[in-house]
């Protein structure tokens, strides 16, 4: 039985794969990225060695999370930050809700954080009556459209300038334009007031440095700086896998993330935040709350085979090279994290039974694994998820079919008879091929079926050795 | 040397000329070719669908059958990857683990065998046509074969090799994926065909017949003139 999530995935994939406008839009958008990514990769003395070093650093951090997370938390607490360990999404949401209530907050501004998408924070805050605004341009656009981000780095990459102009015209009353600067200025004007008005600023974090007790945020619009410094209260929400042992690790991770994330040498703004306003300081938030979210990440940590999936720095490199992602689009996945990394980790975070289909919806081409800067063995993890799904007892029909198949190929005599029958059936099949009653329609709807040869290789070999 | 040939099930039944070409080439180079008719399939379809036990049932026969082989050649990067990369996975902790590892070490994809093992790039072939080459992903990323087939093609007389855009992107076949998610598989294949057609080539060449089966299916449906052909069939034109 397929889950509702699988049905939704199939329906959306059917629509998007036939949408040639979408196909060429994404291809065009990624062409520019590919070029600048490769230029920036070439600036590394040895990109492969950099990947290896990054993978080893993340391995160290993930395999000693207990040590590095408490070091991170202790250092933060020493400077007056409040650290909250949230086991579940609900605990994290409740912490933020209670804080907002206690501080009698009215408006909340956010900078881009996929972790807040993961815990569905916006819906909960809006339901409780708070005004929540996304300050990242792409996130703001998808928020106005009331939809999920398309891509974990480029939330609105599926939209054209024209569509964005219409949206702003409709929702913000701005004049139609195809000038990107004007579009940005529209949001900028709107947003500046909101930063000053907001009672709470919520951000994510790209990295959590244990050695110094700091979060690092990397961005291009400056909105995260404003979100984390203007409101009186700053809440940072981050998954426990974000930790890095040392400050000097950023010397590798910041350029690496920028290179494969956006094709930049470094992003325009890189902030490090280690506490609330300290005595004698003139600015910065009065309170700094750091929420460390588990939400079943420890479930993945317990899986030695796939633990390296926690190395992920959410750069989006695997999405950008994934032919599945490029054809079905990010929103088809129905997950917080799209593309190969989403297909690997979602079954761990939200259940294999409901999300196994994502691991099967792959040609296993391995482009993701090759692109991953921290060397997560992505496409092999998809194979392991498939195996785990079968072990779980799903896909019974596949199993029966492959038992039959194993019997057939292990009994060459029977196999020979089956092939002869196949030749006969193929002649009959031509009459119904690609019609609605064709049992092979999954193949023949778009492709001609291959023809069984008159003489197989085996027959050739036999006749040759008579 | 004596070379044991492994002919995957779909090559045996659908593309026998690929196997025949391999035999002709290896014999031309002065080697003795051995073929065990009782070995039909490597088990990859089951493995890729998550049925590792069923895959192992098939693989045991292959491991036993090729136990005494000096060297094994397989004209498919995909099945080659199954045996070299994934047999060690499915035999972890199994009594036949050692035998599986030993097979993994002596199996070669066809172009890899010619170039890397035998050091042969020029077979004296002649194929007057413009061709473009598609890397099967398993050969490309599991076996790291990118230049070997191209080196061989460059030495074919009167052949022009033109590279297509996005040359390393997947064709969308992916085994059972092609029928489990035909809409995605088809969209990927269409993109690949478009890149191949853009080159103006007469032939679309690959070292994997499974990719070609899928791409040829799409091309034939659209009545395109571009024809698919396996690398071995070109090299056997002497």
Residues of B in contact with A390 (CB under 8 A): 49-52
Domain boundary among B116, B137, B153: B116
* The total number of structural domains that make up chain A: 3
State the angle between helix axes of A250-262 and A47-63 in degrees (0 to 180), rounded to the nearest 10: 120
Q: Do residues A272 and A254 both lie within one domain?
A: yes
Check CB contact of A367 with chain B, cutoff 8 Å: yes
A402 in a structural domain: no
Q: Do residues A28 and A79 both lie within one domain?
A: no
Q: Do residues B6 and B111 both lie within one domain?
A: yes
| Mean pLDDT, residues A97-106 taken together | 97
Give residue B205's domain range: 122-235
Mean pLDDT score of chain B, rounded to an integer? 97
Q: Do residues A93 and A227 both lie within one domain?
A: yes
Are A446 and B7 an interchain contact pair (Cβ–Cβ within 8 Å)? Answer: no
Are A406 and B54 an interchain contact pair (Cβ–Cβ within 8 Å)? Answer: yes
Tokens of B168: 């390393």
A452 in a structural domain: yes
Q: What are phi and psi of A458, to 5 degrees?
A: -60, -45
First to last CA, chain A: 51
**pLDDT more than 90, % of chain A:** 86
**Rounded-to-10 torsion of CA A245, A251, A256, A261:** 90
What integer pLDDT is reported at residue A399 of this predicted model?
A: 85
Q: Do residues A206 and A320 both lie within one domain?
A: no
Confidence class for position A43, pLDDT limits 50, 70, 90: very high
Nearest beta carbon to residue A442 from set B50, B137, B182:
B182
Domain boundary among B116, B145, B179: B116
Q: Do residues A389 and A438 both lie within one domain?
A: no
Domain boundary among A367, A394, A421: A394
Are B189 and A387 an interchain contact pair (Cβ–Cβ within 8 Å)? Answer: no
Give pLDDT tens digits for A377-428: 999 999 999 999 999 988 788 888 888 888 888 887 888 788 888 887 887 7
Q: Which residue of B has its CA nearest to A419?
A: B13
Q: Do residues B96 and B169 both lie within one domain?
A: no
Nearest-angstrom CA–CA distance, A345 and B187 = 25
* Nearest-CA distance A144 → chain B (Å): 29
Nearest-angstrom CA–CA distance, A148 and B192 = 30
Nearest beta carbon to residue A363 from set B13, B61, B177:
B177
| Mean pLDDT, residues A340-362 taken together | 97
What integer pLDDT is reported at residue A415 of this predicted model?
A: 81
From the list A420, A415, A413, the residue with the least C-alpha distance to A455 is A420
Q: Do residues B141 and B227 both lie within one domain?
A: yes
Check CB contact of A431 with chain B, cutoff 8 Å: no
Domain boundary among A260, A295, A330: A295
Nearest beta carbon to residue B178 from set A367, A386, A443:
A443
Are B54 and A362 an interchain contact pair (Cβ–Cβ within 8 Å)? Answer: no
What is the CB-side half-sphere exposure of residue B175 using CA atoms within 13 A?
A: 20
Nearest-angstrom CA–CA distance, B175 and A156 = 33
Check CB contact of A59 with chain B, cutoff 8 Å: no
Q: Do residues B57 and B143 both lie within one domain?
A: no
A423 in a structural domain: yes
pTM confidence score: 0.96
* Secondary structure of residue A345 in the 3-state scheme: helix
Residue among B7, B44, B51 with most chain A CBs within 10 A, to mutate: B51
Are A415 and B189 an interchain contact pair (Cβ–Cβ within 8 Å)? Answer: no
Mean pLDDT score of chain A, rounded to an integer? 95
Give pLDDT tens digits for A47-72: 999 999 999 999 999 999 999 999 99
* Nearest-CA distance A197 → chain B (Å): 46
A302 in a structural domain: no
Residues of B in contact with A447 (CB under 8 A): 186, 189, 214, 217-218, 220-221
What integer pLDDT is reported at residue A128 of this predicted model?
A: 97
Q: Do residues B171 and B201 both lie within one domain?
A: yes
What integer pLDDT is reported at residue A416 of this predicted model?
A: 79
Residues of B in contact with A17 (CB under 8 A): 183-184, 186-187
Q: Do residues B11 and B96 both lie within one domain?
A: yes
Are B14 and A398 an interchain contact pair (Cβ–Cβ within 8 Å)? Answer: no
Helix residue ranges, H only, B2-130:
9-13, 16-28, 44-48, 52-65, 77-81, 87-90, 97-106, 110-112
Nearest-angstrom CA–CA distance, B194 and A250 = 42
| Mean pLDDT, residues A280-300 taken together | 96
Q: Do residues A131 and A264 both lie within one domain?
A: yes
pLDDT at A1 over 70: no
Q: Do residues A92 and A223 both lie within one domain?
A: yes
pLDDT at A432 over 90: no
Pair A288, A275: CB distance under 8 Å: yes
Residues 33-52 (B) with a CB less than 8 A from some CB of A: 35, 37-38, 40-41, 43, 45-52
What integer pLDDT is reported at residue A254 of this predicted model?
A: 98
| Mean pLDDT, residues A212-217 taken together | 98
What integer pLDDT is reported at residue A260 of this predicted model?
A: 98
Q: Do residues A29 and A99 both lie within one domain?
A: no
Q: Do residues B171 and B215 both lie within one domain?
A: yes
Positive/negative CA dihedral, A93, A99, A103, A108 = negative
From the list A190, A49, A216, A85, the residue with the least C-alpha distance to A133 is A190
Q: Do residues B148 and B212 both lie within one domain?
A: yes
Nearest-angstrom CA–CA distance, B156 and A428 = 41
Residues of A in contact with B184 (CB under 8 A): 13, 17, 324, 327-328, 361
Residues of B in contact with A398 (CB under 8 A): 49-51, 176
Q: Do residues B9 and B109 both lie within one domain?
A: yes
A385 in a structural domain: yes
* The total number of structural domains that make up chain B: 2
Q: Do residues A16 and A121 both lie within one domain?
A: no
Nearest-angstrom CA–CA distance, A44 and A256 = 9
Are B61 and A412 an interchain contact pair (Cβ–Cβ within 8 Å)? Answer: no
Nearest beta carbon to residue A446 from set B41, B50, B186:
B186
Radius of gyration, alpha carbons of chain B: 17
Domain boundary among B74, B101, B116: B116
Q: Do residues B175 and B220 both lie within one domain?
A: yes
Q: Do residues A288 and A437 both lie within one domain?
A: no
What integer pLDDT is reported at residue A407 of this predicted model?
A: 87
pLDDT at A294 over 80: yes
Nearest beta carbon to residue B142 from set A10, A366, A462:
A366
Measured in whole angstroms, how far is the alpha carbon of residue A125 from the centre of its chain? 23
A252 in a structural domain: yes
pLDDT at A225 over 80: yes
A403 in a structural domain: no
Are A364 and B137 an interchain contact pair (Cβ–Cβ within 8 Å)? Answer: yes
A20 in a structural domain: yes
Residue among A363, A387, A389 with most chain B CBs within 10 A, to mutate: A363
What integer pLDDT is reported at residue A424 of this predicted model?
A: 78
Residues in Cβ contact with B197 at an 8 Å cutoff, skipping those fewer than 6 apart: B224, B226
pLDDT at A145 over 70: yes
Nearest beta carbon to residue A405 from set B46, B140, B182:
B46
Check CB contact of A175 with chain B, cutoff 8 Å: no
Q: Do residues A253 and A388 both lie within one domain?
A: no
Q: What are phi and psi of B161, to 5 degrees?
A: -100, 120
Nearest-angstrom CA–CA distance, B213 and B206 = 11
Residues 195-224 (B) with a CB less than 8 A from some CB of A: 213-214, 216-218, 220-221
What integer pLDDT is reported at residue A410 of this predicted model?
A: 85
Q: Do residues B65 and B21 both lie within one domain?
A: yes
Residues 310-329 (A) with a CB less than 8 A from some CB of B: 323-324, 327-328
Are A442 and B43 an interchain contact pair (Cβ–Cβ within 8 Å)? Answer: no
Q: For position B178, which CATH number holds?
A: 3.40.50.11810
Are B16 and A453 an interchain contact pair (Cβ–Cβ within 8 Å)? Answer: yes
Check CB contact of A84 with chain B, cutoff 8 Å: no
Give residue A357's domain range: 1-43+309-394
pLDDT at A434 over 90: no
Q: Do residues A345 and A434 both lie within one domain?
A: no
Give whole-number Cα distances, A114 to A180, B74, B230, in Å: 25, 45, 45
């Amino acid at each position: 039985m397929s889950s509702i999530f699988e049905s939704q995935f199939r329906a959306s994939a059917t629509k998007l794969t036939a949408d040639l406008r979408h196909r060429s839009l994404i291809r065009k958008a990624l062409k520019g990225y590919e070029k600048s990514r490769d230029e920036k990769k070439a600036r590394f003395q040895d990109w492969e060695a950099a990947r290896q070093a990054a993978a080893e650093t993340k391995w160290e951090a993930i395999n000693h999370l207990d040590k590095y997370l408490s070091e991170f938390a202790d250092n933060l607490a020493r400077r007056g930050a409040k650290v909250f360990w949230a086991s579940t999404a609900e605990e994290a949401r409740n912490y933020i809700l209670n804080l907002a209530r206690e501080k009698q907050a009215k408006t909340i501004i956010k900078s881009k954080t996929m972790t807040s998408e993961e815990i569905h924070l916006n819906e909960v805050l809006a339901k409780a009556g708070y005004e929540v605004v996304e300050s990242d341009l792409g996130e703001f656009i998808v928020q106005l459209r009331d939809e999920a981000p398309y891509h974990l780095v480029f939330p609105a990459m599926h939209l054209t300038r024209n569509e964005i102009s219409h949206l702003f015209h409709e929702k913000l009353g701005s004049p139609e334009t195809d000038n990107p600067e004007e579009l940005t200025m529209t949001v900028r004007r709107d947003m500046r007031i909101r930063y000053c008005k907001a009672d709470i600023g919520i951000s994510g974090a790209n990295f959590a440095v244990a050695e110094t007790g700091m979060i690092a945020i990397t961005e291009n619009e400056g909105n995260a700086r404003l979100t984390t410094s203007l409101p009186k209260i700053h809440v940072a929400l981050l998954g426990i896998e974000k930790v890095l042992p040392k400050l000097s690790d950023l010397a590798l991770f910041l350029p690496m993330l920028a290179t494969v994330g956006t094709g930049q040498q470094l992003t325009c703004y890189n902030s490090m935040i280690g506490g609330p306003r300290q005595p004698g300081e003139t600015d910065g938030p009065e309170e700094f709350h750091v929420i460390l979210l588990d939400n079943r990440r420890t479930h993945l940590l317990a899986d030695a085979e796939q633990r390296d999936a926690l190395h992920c720095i959410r750069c989006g490199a695997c999405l950008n090279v994934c032919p599945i992602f490029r054809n079905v689009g990010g929103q088809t996945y129905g997950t917080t994290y799209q593309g190969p990394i989403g297909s690997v980790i979602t079954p761990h975070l939200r259940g294999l039974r409901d999300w196994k289909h994502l691991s099967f919806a792959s040609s296993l081409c391995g482009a993701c694994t090759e692109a991953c800067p921290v060397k997560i063995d992505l496409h092999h993890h998809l194979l392991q998820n498939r195996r785990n799904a079968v072990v779980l007892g799903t896909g019974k029909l596949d199993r029966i079919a492959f038992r039959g198949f194993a019997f057939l190929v292990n009994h060459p005599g029977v196999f020979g008879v089956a092939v002869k029958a196949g030749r006969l059936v193929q002649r009959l099949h031509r009459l119904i091929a690609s019609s609605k009653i064709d049992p092979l329609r999954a193949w023949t709807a778009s492709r001609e079926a291959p023809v069984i040869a008159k003489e197989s290789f085996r027959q050739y070999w036999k006749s040759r050795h008579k | 040397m004596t070379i044991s040939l492994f002919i995957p099930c779909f090559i045996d039944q659908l593309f026998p000329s690929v196997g025949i070409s391999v035999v002709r080439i290896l014999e031309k180079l002065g080697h003795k070719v051995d073929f065990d008719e009782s070995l039909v399939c490597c088990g990859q379809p089951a493995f890729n669908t998550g049925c590792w036990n069923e895959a192992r049932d098939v693989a045991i026969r292959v491991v036993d059958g090729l136990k005494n082989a000096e060297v094994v050649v397989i004209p498919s990067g995909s099945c080659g990857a199954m045996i070299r990369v994934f047999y060690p996975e499915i035999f972890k902790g199994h009594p036949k683990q050692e035998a599986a590892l030993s097979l993994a070490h002596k199996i070669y994809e066809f172009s890899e065998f010619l170039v890397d093992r035998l050091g042969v790039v020029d077979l004296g072939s002649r194929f007057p046509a413009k061709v473009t080459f598609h890397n099967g992903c398993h050969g490309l990323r599991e076996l790291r074969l990118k230049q070997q087939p191209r080196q061989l093609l460059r030495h074919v007389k009167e052949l022009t090799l033109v590279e297509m855009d996005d040359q390393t992107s997947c064709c969308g076949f992916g085994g059972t994926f092609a029928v489990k998610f035909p809409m995605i598989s088809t969209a990927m294949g269409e993109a690949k065909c478009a890149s191949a057609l853009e080159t103006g080539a007469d032939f679309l060449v690959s070292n994997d017949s499974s990719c070609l089966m899928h791409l040829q299916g799409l091309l034939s449906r659209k009545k395109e003139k571009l024809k698919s052909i396996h690398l071995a069939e070109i090299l056997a034109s002497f």
